[in-house]
Structure 1
């Protein structure tokens, strides 16, 4: 009888194994899933899914170009962006004391054809375009054609409508003109293509704040209004893009098109957006900032309020403007001149133009420059001092953050990883950067085709910022050695 009970218990033990052995596979599965989720959340958005989850099937990305030996860590940071899946294709460049120290390209301009992102690639840079437009305005100020303190009505009398009679050029370049959007009802593409007709539409737009100069980011409209102003003061009635092309860019061996010649479309990189899940993660981070008080409590309500300046600025777009950011690289859009958003360039051209500013307006020569590069200064030192004048910190009612404007229409920027250094310039949607620092002698450009959705008031993102950090570290070290 005892043997039968023992046999029965053994049989039950075999059919009902200990609870611990049951639990182990479940815990292992949970651990594996947790690791996969962590990898997906922290890995860059542009690598193939199997690469993000398992580390297999990743792109075999090459980096090409030039780097000065002292700045090799900046090259490693650039390459890391591809290894981590943060970039598809990109170019980055930097000058230090007038010398090119970094000029790199990497990744792919087109994933469908696996075309490499090389030195011939051109890239739309969205609002980094505003830096070029501001430099053209400074160029006209330097010539005595424009004056920042003059009212716009001096050059464009019809602009006085709708409480805009006291708006100055200084207000317009610094997003305080009260025209961050235009009423696009009953406006056709033909109206927008007819610049004389379009000027009437622009002039009729009322001031958003009843004539009070408040900063509200003029995402698209800043360039449209500046273009009309420039057409009226230029003896040949040229646009900003025409003046830049004919008097600045070619003379200094730069490529920066505000209206791309159609035969160059094959050189333009294709854009790629992040996945919906990655966008949701970014939105979660914004929610955390809102919950912890870093973001004003009215931020989300203003996004939903159809009468708010914020909502109208981002939601009411003129018809030719693309509905998706990824469409911007298509022929229909790159050939249009939108001097706030539609510049097509590369990192080296942005960095070199910034280097000219750092060099007190004097031209920069490097090994790749053509023999006919202009020797005359772009801007006088006094004008550079003027446009670099720091204005009081202002809250932006569209970007919902505080910014320190520079008089010439740029901004003073501190990046999270190098907060002890201020740069002047601006950035573009998706992550492009166009900046310089005269004290350190640094100018920097970064352009890419992988679009990151920016935080509510962030300029650039961790990709460009990580490279810039390495450059600043080297320059600080070199400065210390010199002293």
Structure 2
């Protein structure tokens, strides 16, 4: 293990060591900012299941669905810059979207997981890497239910929807916008679509038996199965160079704990800090207003959601403040902001645990963090 930790937060360091020694982590990193200061920045373990490559300070790893909130953040940044309004119809910017009952679906409706579009029925099986195919299928998709009537975590389609909106508004891919306009200029590493140098810094993903979401993806007749049909069948899916170099903003963002903590640390300060601006406080405060608190349709879990961010809830337990917001990823990674304590938190790992909530590793870190405040 390496890195730094302020003495006040030694309990976080101890929990991190326990994660690596007794809670099954292969490699991981945790980072915390408090009032804009980095107070925890630790990494350890290995980048591979064979434990031949030590986890380094600049190691990158797939953060799974934690990517969704960063995709939403990019769209919210367009609103902050006056390029869109989140209450505009998506069809204002993407005219082909406005058919088959989707004419009035707003950008807010999409970001709040209320659009009724969890599947892209016309997308062929295994077509994830076919440019534009998912988006074209969504253009002709009829909502599964009337928008704004049924919360449903858009597990597969959230990313493509955000990506197409970004492309239509700016002419840039979402990955390019993050790299060139939003996070890259702040020195924050969060990649959608990596180059060879970045791929060479990646940790390999190992997967536990019995991961609930993956089991649902493989079970015909479930909404999750239907939603994820376009995912290619691959024994080594997360290590596939095509997966790592392609942009899929539902789940293949690659980053690290330091970057997640930096992003959410700035957001915990209202979206700007020390000259680092991500989004303005007006847009941010609107985005973290609760849009729903209910059992959603695809994973059948009770979530709370704002406009683009998951809010503190029983399945995503992120401290003691109900106002905290962020997003988890499959099997363990997560980032969140606690605006009451002006705290940013990032955790990432390369072992997908068989969990469907915060999980014991992140929970131990978060509990020790709040005990230390």
Question: TM-score normalised to the size of structure 1?
Answer: 0.71
Aligned to 2:371: 473
Once the two structures are superposed, residues 36-64 of structure 1 have per-residue CA deviations (whole angstroms, 9 ceiling, x without a partner) of xxxxxxxxxxxxxxxxxxxxxxxxxxx11
**Is 1:393 aligned with 2:307?**
no
2:143 paired with 1:207: yes
Residue equivalent to 2:277: 377
1:220 corresponds, among 137, 153, 156, to: 156
Match of 2:3 among 43, 54, 65: 65
Cα distance between partner residues in 2 of 1:219 and 1:249:
24
Encode CA deviations 1:341-379: one digit per residue, 9 max, x unaligned. Answer: 010000000000101111222245xxxxxxxxxx35222
- 1:102 and 2:40 equivalent? yes
1:149-160 mapped onto 2 (5 Å cutoff) = 149-160=87-98
Provide Cα deviations, 1:158-186, integer angstroms capped at 9, x if missing partner. Answer: 11222212211111112111111112554
Q: Report the Cα offset of residue 226 of structure 1.
A: 1.3
Match of 1:406 in 2: 306
Higher RCO (C-alpha under 8 Å, 6+ residues apart): 2
Across the aligned residues of Structure 1 and Structure 2, the Cα RMSD in angstroms comes to: 2.6
Residue 51 of structure 1 is matched in structure 2 by none
| Inter-partner Cα distance in structure 2 for 1:174 and 1:397 | 14
Q: 1:322 to 1:342 in 2, by over 3 A?
A: farther
Q: 1:329-344 to 2 correspondence within 5 Å?
A: 329-344=239-254
Mapped to 1, the partners of 2:265 and 2:216 lie a distance apart of: 42
How far apart, in 2, do the equivalents of 1:323 and 1:413 lie? Answer: 33
Runs of 5+ consecutive residues of structure 2 not aligned to the other structure: none
Mapping for residues 252-331 of structure 1, pairs under 5 Å: 252-274=186-208, 276=209, 279=210, 306=221, 309-313=223-227, 316-319=228-231, 321=232, 323=234, 327-331=237-241
- Residue-pair matches, total: 371
Contact 2:268 2:342 in 1 (8 A): yes
Taking a change above 3 Å as real, the CA distance of residues 148 and 93 of structure 1, as seen in their structure-2 partners, is same
How far the C-alpha of 1:421 sits from its partner, in A, is 2.8
**How far did 1:322 drift?**
5.1
| Pair member with larger Rg | 1
Write the distance in 2 (CA, Å) between the matches of 1:251 and 1:346: 17
Query: TM-score by structure 2 length?
Result: 0.91
Q: Distance in 2 between matches of 1:121 and 1:139?
A: 27
Could you say which residue in structure 1 is the equivalent of 2:111?
173
